[in-house]
Structure 1
């Protein structure tokens, strides 16, 4: 009888260990998948921001031909674009993106003073591409934030939270708009 009881005890211990190992492997793989999805979504934001940054010089050059004396607006776009290209963290990107968006808004206000520019086919094409890119950026931000929210939730739930702390899975930062971004910037010329 003692042999059977000892065998049963070892089988139970073995089953518990096996369950812990399988749970750990499943949790680890799920965390890796979620973290990879977050990184992918952030990369997509970078791609869309780069697309916009690449469109801006063409747009600015088109406007320069019509509005050469609007140097301050054009300089603010160049500065904001450089800040965006140098941004590293999601929050730095969000802040730089907000600056660039404001500068582009001021540029589009300047355009209102130049009816010939608004009729220019290249300018129209570039503004259409820019509008499409802005939509892509918005969707990419939303997708990134959804992936981050899912990942951050996963690393806080039991038992994945145990494995997240053991294997160093840290909370990810959401892509947030700069404080006050909901207000329209005032433009004075």
Structure 2
């Protein structure tokens, strides 16, 4: 009788250990799948970032070209404004030319301010 009781207790202990091992294994498999899922999301985010780089390069090139043309416009407008100021002969026509040159310079400077902001 005592040996049956000992055998029963040993069987229950073995069953509990097996149940614990199976539950632990299933938990580990579940966590591994969760890690794989989150890693796939990280890789997806990296891929999206890589896909956006050509667009970013195009935007930077476009802005660079825009800034370059704006700088050229400012230099040209400044030259015209300086030429108008150096002209001591200020009549109606020269006044309107100088005013137009100053307006062009102000517009180009405003575009540059917008770029800087």
Range class of TM-score, shorter chain: 0.5 to 0.7
Give, in angstroms, the shift of residue 36 of structure 1: 1.3
Partner of 1:116: none
- Counterpart Cα distance in 1 of 2:25 and 2:67: 62
SS at match of 1:45: helix
User: Where does residue 39 of structure 1 map in the other structure?
Assistant: 39
Q: Residue 49 of structure 2 aligns with which residue?
A: 49
Number of the residue aligned with 1:20 = 20
Bigger CA radius of gyration? 2
Which runs of at least 4 in structure 1 moved beyond 4 Å after TM superposition?
none
Give the alignment's TM-score, normalised by structure 2: 0.54
* Structure 2: unaligned runs, 5 residues or longer: 72-110
- Number of residue pairs the alignment of both structures matches: 76
Counterpart mapping for 1:1-189 below 5 A: 1-68=1-68, 113=111, 188-189=116-117
What are the superposed Cα offsets for residues 34-82 of structure 1, whole Å, 9 maximum, x if unpaired? 11112111111111111112211122223333331679xxxxxxxxxxx
Deviations 1:101-146 (A, max 9, x none): xxxxxxxxxxxx4xxxxxxxxxxxxxxxxxxxxxxxxxxxxxxxxx
Provide the rounded CA distance (Å) in 2 between the counterparts of 1:25 and 1:70: 66
User: Alpha carbons of 1:29 and 1:6: their partners in 2 closer, same or farther (altered >3 Å)?
Assistant: same
Q: Deviations over 1:147-185 (max 9, x none)?
A: xxxxxxxxxxxxxxxxxxxxxxxxxxxxxxxxxxxxxxx
Deviation at 1:18, TM superposition (A): 0.7
Gapped runs of 5+ residues in structure 1? 72-112, 114-186
Higher helix share: 2
Match in the other structure for 1:106: none
